[in-house]
Amino acid sequence: MSEHRFRLRARYPETDQMGIVHHTNHFVWFEIGRTELLRELGLPYAALEARHIFMPVIEAGARYKRPVRYDEEIDVLTSVAEVTGVRVRFGYRLARHPAGEVVATGFTLHAATDETGAPRRLPSEVKARLEALVPAAGSGA
């Protein structure tokens, strides 16, 4: 798995007066994609937090290419872009289903912390599972 796919439908309360999904919802969709990717890796947030591993967002960004309207289906494509001992960068693409037109891209950068917010290293097995998804340099991915 180089990219995790999760399909959702733009819901009415996510839209603005013009019937377009409000830009802030893209970050909610990124979080859904990230949560589902981690779950598929066997690293659900609840299990990580039970081990005192927290991953707050320390940086985020998005580029909006096309509007999403109420009731459209969107594929949230989530990847792991980079892993260090204490940080993880996820990448996101939102694509209109079924055409595949990319409507937005984004990223989130996370720091590994304990429950008090103090930095901590990712356990080796967690780091290894995440690193397995990082595209190899020069692979064009």
User: Are 96 and 40 spatial neighbours (Cβ–Cβ below 8 Å)?
Assistant: no
16 flagged as catalytic = yes
User: Are 135 and 91 spatial neighbours (Cβ–Cβ below 8 Å)?
Assistant: no
Catalytic residue among 16, 71, 75, 114: 16
Residues annotated as catalytic are 16
